[in-house]
Copies of this chain bind each other. A is one copy, B any other.
Amino acid sequence: MSEESSELLCPEALEARLRAIGAERYHDKHPFHKLLHGGQLDKGQVQAWVLNRYCYQSAIPRKDAALISRVHDVELRREWRRRIVDHDGDSDGDSGIERWLILAEGVGLDRDYVSSTRGALAATKFAVEAYVRFVREKSLLEAIASSLTELFAPAIHRERIAGLLAHYDFADDRTLSYFTKRLDQAPRDVAFGLDYVLREARTPERQRGVIDALYFKTDVLWAQLDALYHAYVEPGHIPPGAFDPALVDPGTDPGADPGAET
C-alpha cells in the first residue's frame, strides 16, 4: 500500500494524486454499490446495508472526538467539533445518526435493533474500529488525511439518491435526508481538510503518510462492502449471529454482544 516515490510533490500534484486514489479505489466502484444504486438488491439486502452502515455512521463522532483530543490549536478543535455536531446533533431530532435511523425504519428495520449493532457483521465492526484507532494513533496529519474520502462523497450521494429514488419504494425525501444533508456538509468539511493536508504535507515522508492514509480509508470503506457482498449477495454465507433477512424478526435474535465501550 505504501508508495515508492520519495519525490516532493507540489500541492497541485499532491491533490491530483489524492483524487486519483478516489478514482481508482473509492467504494462507488464496488459491485455492491452498483447493485444498490441500480435497483438490483432485494429488501433484505438493502436492510443489511443500512444496518451495517449504521456502525460506521455512529462511530464517526468517536473518530472525530479522538482527532480533537490530539489538537492543541483551539481554532482547529472548533472547526472539527462541527463534524461531531453534524452527526450527534444538539438533540435527537437533528443529527446525522437520527437521519440514518429514519432510513433504517424506512427500510423496515427496528431502530433499537439497528442501534444495538447486534446484527451487524463482525467484519464491519472491525473495519470501523480500525478507522477510529487509526485516527487515535497515527499522526494528526494522517488522521486528517483519512477524512479526505469526503472529496468523493458528493458524487456517490447524488448517484445514490437518484438510484434509490428510481428503484425502491422506501426512498423519499424523508428516508434519504441523511444523504441530501451530507451534500451540503461534506464539501464544507473537505475543503478544510484538503487545505490543511496540502499545507502541512511538505516533505516526501509526510506526503507519503497522507497518501497511505487515504489508501487506508478507502480500504475501510471497501472492506465493509466486500463483507456485505459475501454475506448477503452470494448465497449461504451469512455468519452466525448476523442479521438474517429470512428470519421473521431478526431483531429478536439474542446473539452477539452489542459491543462494549472501547
Contacts and interface: CB of A to CB of B under 8 A. Distances in A.
Interface of A: 58, 61-63, 65-72, 74, 77-78, 81, 84-85, 88-90, 92, 95, 97, 132, 136, 140, 259, 261-262
| Dominant secondary structure at the A interface | helix
Interface centre among A69, A78, A95 (most CB of B within 10 A): A69
Contacts of A65: 65-69, 77
Q: How many copies does the complex hold?
A: 2
Nearest to A74: B88
Given A62-B68, A62-B69, A78-B90, 15 more contacts: A58-B74, A61-B68, A61-B74, A62-B71, A62-B77, A63-B69, A65-B65, A65-B67, A65-B68, A66-B66, A68-B68, A68-B69, A77-B84, A77-B88, A81-B88
A62 B136 CA distance: 12
Interface centre among A67, A74, A95 (most CB of B within 10 A): A74
A101 to B, nearest CB: 10
